[in-house]
Chain A
Amino acid sequence: MLLISKVETFYGNIQALRGVDVKVNSGEIVTLIGSNGAGKSTLLMTISGVNKASTGEILFDDQRIENLLPHEIVNLGISQVPEGRRIFSRLSVEDNLRLGASAYEKGKNFDTDAKDVYDLFPVLKDRLNQRGGTLSGGEQQMLAIGRAMMARPKMLLLDEPSLGIAPKLVNQIFVAIKNINKEKKVTIFLVEQNAKKALELADRGYVLVNGNVTLEGTGQDLLKNKDIQAAYLEGGGKK
């Protein structure tokens, strides 16, 4: 479904991605783990077209998308939940959702799509008229995911959905991600620092180090991998 080959991305003179190859099949949950500054968010922003790849190809449903504009990519069916949620804090929850829907047929199906989001995250329905900024971190993350789902994506890119959120809510969000994948048949590409949770959830995973993919495998294989255990699981927290 998504095929990334030899993608390089620069910020000015600094190279963030050094020839990344990633493949995501339809219906999968694929995760990308790596430490700070490895280039995880850059890769997602490059897929979304916010950052431009200087070389390499990105194919989505056999169509090249690396030179399209961000809104064209969203219209093709790739939505992103950006890092740090980036909800519109001074707009109401409903307005946030409506903005998410603006990509899909200009929000004509708002009511039905919004109902799906409320089923996923019932708390949002109670807070429709509240300003986005008054929600708790976890609720904001739910809103950000709900907002991205309003565009009826075929593929959802999630950037660190567990960042800065209470552990209890993290579980809830990961359950929701699984639901989106299984019930809504949305392919998931998940970037996480919480490697254990992400690998447990994912069908397959990639490890990104300094802008290079160093390892790939099924979620279970990577969980058992000695190097990964040392770098990202047990040792990761203590270093």
Chain B
Amino acid sequence: MRKNFLYSSIKDSLFTGLIALALFGPIVGLRTVAKNEVLVVSPKWFIVLVIVIVCALGRFLTNLYIYNRDQKFGIQSTIGKSITNFLDTKGTQIALSAIIFSVIFPFLPFTDRYLMDIAIMMLTYIMLGWGLNIVIGLAGLLDLGYVAFYAVGAYSYALFAIHFGWSFWICLPIAGIFAAMFGVLLGFPVLRLRGDYLAIVTLAFGEMIRILLLNWYQLTKGPDGLTGIPRPSFFGLPFKSFPDEGEQTFHTFFGLEYSPMQRIIFLYYLILVLALITNLFTIKIRRLPIGRAWEALREDEIACKSLGVNPRNTKLTAFAIGAMFGGFAGSFFATRQAFISPESFTFIESAIIVAIVVLGGMGSQTGVVLATVFLIGLIEVFRDFESYRMIAFGGAMVLIMIFRPRGILATRKPTITLQKKEATK
């Protein structure tokens, strides 16, 4: 038995090496170089050999320690199992300590401008992940164009703030409403679509919005982008080092020294609050009829119809509410950057957000946080090695898929938990 298993593992890894050779041979091995104004092929077989060996060896090891173990002994990989156990039993404590940590984070001794910027970026992605989780995780609608709503939120915030001079707190709900309207706009034509067909249409929708922003020069200034988006103020008190005559600013009002960190810290808390609102909203709505209907729709559409759930309204609200939170995140992005252009809203953004939701374990709120920290953190760590960033990103995905094929937090708890359990034990 054991011998047979070893033999099949070796065979399988050799086959993997062959695939790697077929793929990387032409892509990496054959490089054209201009020599005396003529293109010459200069082969790099050594690198190909290294890659092929790495692939075959990696496959062999995963075969040995993960896949075949599952098949032979029916057990999960031990690392994955202990992660799940840990998170299942300590879930609430982890979430609470994470929230406390993020509240005190700006005042920790090692926190500097760079870390704050990363934290703000991570929180933005967490918020987007939670927003998209409503659409993908709860309602089961695979939306590959989520960045469109992020863009709509950012642009509507920017345009209202620039042209009408309205404050952040007025423009934020407006941007959310606009994004929700676009959510319904996308929702209507895709009501009958499921799965891959839905994914293609949403993907196209995301691109359409970006191209629209790029070409509608009169409104959006096209590729030049919108500049001079007003910074948010602390309930009417702006963050400025040199206030105008008679103007109250944040630091004069509170009698503090001016520091540029004040605005960063304010932005940090702003996105933290927005993200937590998104999370709280999702947790609450899952226990309401509409949230339950979303989950039911994900499970079985025909059963939903036969029970009198209206699939049209249910899907549209999922799209609208998911989009609304994307729009909120977009407004935050606009006010933080003070400059937006269509370049910030490419497909790769959608892909990252979907990756966060899927790798986190669809429908899991904590999973989104873990996946964000893992993926965005990894991209940041590799910032100095620019050309290896995407390899690290891809590698992280492969690792998650090997160890946690259904997402970091795959086992979702039922929405309503058993209370008797503790009494009987």
| A interface residues (Cβ-Cβ under 8 A, vs B) | 48-50, 69-71, 73-75, 79-82, 86-92, 94-95, 98-100, 102-103, 106-107, 128-131, 147-148, 151
Contact = CB atoms under 8 A, between A and B. Distances in A.
Query: What are the 10 closest A-B residue pairs judged by CB atoms, nearest first?
Result: A103-B308, A74-B308, A86-B303, A70-B305, A88-B299, A129-B418, A92-B414, A80-B306, A71-B308, A71-B310
Interface string B385-425: 00000000000000000000000000010111110000000
Interface size class on chain B is 20 to 34
A98 B292 contact: yes
B247 interface: no
Nearest to A99: B296
Nearest to A100: B307
Contacts of B306: 48, 50, 70, 74, 79-82, 86, 148
B415 A79 contact: no
B61 interface: no
Nearest to A102: B289
A102 B300 contact: no
Contacts of B207: none
A90 B293 contact: no
A122 B10 CA distance: 55
A88 B300 contact: yes
B118 interface: no
Contact of A103 (B292, B307, B412, B415): B307
A79 B307 CA distance: 7
Given A82-B302, A99-B296, A102-B289, A91 B415 contact: yes
A99 B310 CA distance: 11
Contact of A102 (B309, B414, B417): B309
B295 A90 contact: yes
A207 B393 CA distance: 62
B186 to A, nearest CB: 22
Contact of A71 (B292, B303, B309): B309
Contacts of A71: 305, 308-310
A75 B300 contact: no
B417 A129 contact: yes
Nearest to A75: B308
Q: Specify which of A49, A70, A74 lies most central, judged by the most chain B CB atoms within 10 Å of its CB.
A: A70
Contacts of A107: 289
A69 to B, nearest CB: 7
Nearest to B312: A69
Contacts of A95: 292, 295-296, 414-416
